[in-house]
Structures are given as C-alpha cells and as structure tokens.
Amino acid sequence: MTRKNDSYPLQPPRERGTGRAIALAVIMHVLLGLFLYHGIHWQNSTPAGEEAELWTEVPDLSTPKPLPPPAPVAPAPPPPQTEEADIALQQQKRKQQEAQREAQLAEQQRLKAQQEADAKRQQQLAAQQAAQLAAQQKAEKLKQQQEQQQAAAEKQKQQQQQQQQDALKKQQQEEEQQKQAKLDAQKKADAEKAAKAKAQADAQAKKLDAERRARIAQMQGSMGGGEGTSGNGLAKSGTGSGSGGNATSPGYAEKVQRRVRPNIVWSGETSGLTTVVSVRCSPTGTLLSAQIQSSSGNSAWDDAALRAVQRSDPMPLDTNGKAPPSFLITLRPAG
C-alpha cells in the first residue's frame, strides 16, 4: 500500500516494512553463512572407493531356450536430501525473492512511469480542453461581435432607407404642393384673366352701347323726332330669319361668320353648344343691339358668343351697300 505525496507527486511511493525486510535478509544471510561453513567442514574427508567384478554365463546357442521374463524395474529411490539441496533451495528462494523484489521495483517504476504519463496526459488533455474552451469562447465572442455589427449595419441600412423614403416622400409632397400651388396660381391667373377680359368686354360693350345710343340719338335728332319715327320706326324696317333674313343676299351670312368668329374667346368644352344671337343694325352696319335669341344651356358660352358679336361692330354691308336692319347669327365653338 502506497501513500501519495501531494507536495511531490513525481516521487516514488515509499514502501512499508522495508526495515523489517532488511533485518530478515541479514538474519538469513548469517544463517546461510553458518550452514555453509559447517557443511564444508563436515565433508572434508574423501570417501573410500569399492570394486566389484561381474561374471556372465555364455549362452548355448545350439538349442534355443526360452527367454526368462524381464525382471520388473524397481523405481529409483529418491535422492537423499542433503544440505546442498537445502542450500540450492535457499539460493533459489533467495533468487525468487530478489526476482520478486526486482519485479516489484520494476512494477513500481512502471506504475510510477504510468502515473507520470497519466498525469502528463491529463495535463495535456486539460491544456487541450482549456485551449479548445478558449478558442470556443473566442469564436463565440467573435460571432457575437459579427452578429452585433451585422445587426447595427442592418439597422443603419434600414434607417438610411427610411430616411431616403422620408426624403422622397417629402420631395414628392413638396412637388405636389408646388404643382398644386402652380395650378392654384394658374387657376387664379386664369380667373383674373377671365375676370379682366369680362370686365374689358363689359366695358367695351358698355362703351359700344353708349356709342350706339349716342348714334341712335343723333340719328333720331337728325330725323326730326316724333312718336312715329322713334324706336318703333326701326322695328318697322323688318326682321330677318336665319343668318341674313329674307332681305339679305345668299353670301351675307358667311360674311357675318367671318367677321364674328375671330372675336370668339372660348377655352371650354366644344361639343353640343349652339347659341343663336339676335342682332339689330343701322344701314351703315353699326350694331344697335344684340341679345340671346336661343341659349345653348351653357351661360358661359352664351356670354362668350354675345361678346364676340359685340366686338364685331360694325357689321359687314350687304351687296346693296347697306346692312340688314335685323338678322340672326348662329354660333358654335370651334372644335
């Protein structure tokens, strides 16, 4: 049974009973020396020798005789046990003991070497496990860092995409606002332009109406006044039907259309709009009055057609050198 030393694990274990074994070995060596000494002095005389003669009978070969049965062979007596045998036995025992001790020592050395090899192998295994654990921890740490970097990059990418989307959305909103502002400004400008054009047209119409009234008053003054020659006298001059009436030449309606159509200002719809304007003129073509005879159902177009007629003053003269006193003008938007 061995004891393990914690302070020095590589030292061989100390054997128990070593002093007892050494004492027994010394005693055995002393006894063996005494035995050898007395044995040599006991056999120092030479034993006397003995002689013997053996005579055998010559067999008669003339007549064969039966052979006697073989005598049984007696077993050899065991050799007497002598002191030499004891000495040899003791030597053999001593050799066996020495061999056993050598075997034990060799076994102890082998165990020691095996323990050292096991300890070294365990140390190497522990070092390998520590290295593997450190490498695994390093790999896990590196993996975590990579995952964190990847997550940060993905988050940054998403933020950039969101910022780009927000910027694009903001830009689109600004463009829509600018476009809407332009549309509103265009509508406002168109409305102002239309209002200005309407105001100008109304002013022009008022001016033309005032001029017509002044000319009518001047004509009435030159004709001498009176009830029979007032406004009713103009009505007696006759009314036409269609574009030129019964008192116009066949080409007069085309002349009126060529005169009125360039003055039409219209940017709305063009389908299904037809307006008939009733016109009264002086013989010189001066426009006396103009009003809607048949509406198209679109008041804006009716106003545009009426303004176009008012801007066409004076009206063209017919082939007889005079303008018809009254006639109808049919107008449609150019489509």
For residues 76-96, give the mean pLDDT: 73
- Please write the tens of the pLDDT for every residue from 170-203: 888 888 888 888 877 777 776 676 667 666 666 6
CATH classification of the domain holding 302: 3.30.1150.10
The verdict on residue 314 lying in a domain is yes
pLDDT tier, 64 (very low <50, low <70, confident <90, very high otherwise): low
The verdict on residue 118 lying in a domain is no
For residues 93-98, give the mean pLDDT: 86
The verdict on residue 243 lying in a domain is yes
The verdict on residue 269 lying in a domain is yes
Structural domain count of the chain: 1
The verdict on residue 328 lying in a domain is yes
**Residue ranges in 77-236 assigned as alpha helix (H):** 83-223, 231-235
The verdict on residue 258 lying in a domain is yes
The verdict on residue 248 lying in a domain is yes
State the residue range of the domain holding 290. Answer: 239-335
pLDDT recorded at residue 47: 58
- Please write the tens of the pLDDT for every residue from 100-130: 888 888 888 888 888 888 888 888 888 988 9
For 285-302, letters b (16+ CB in 10 Å) and e give: bbbbebebeeebebeebb
- Please write the tens of the pLDDT for every residue from 291-307: 999 998 899 999 999 99
- Please write the tens of the pLDDT for every residue from 251-277: 888 999 999 999 999 888 878 889 999
Q: pTM for the complete prediction? A: 0.32
In angstroms, the CA 335 to CA 274 distance is: 12
What is the distance of C-alpha 143 from the center of its chain?
19
CB-based contact 234:212 (threshold 8 Å): no
pLDDT recorded at residue 229: 31
- Please write the tens of the pLDDT for every residue from 129-143: 899 899 989 999 999
Mean pLDDT across the chain, nearest whole number?
Answer: 76
CB-based contact 260:331 (threshold 8 Å): yes
pLDDT recorded at residue 290: 92
pLDDT recorded at residue 172: 86
What distances in angstroms separate CA 272 from CA 47, 277, 304, one per listed residue? 175, 16, 15
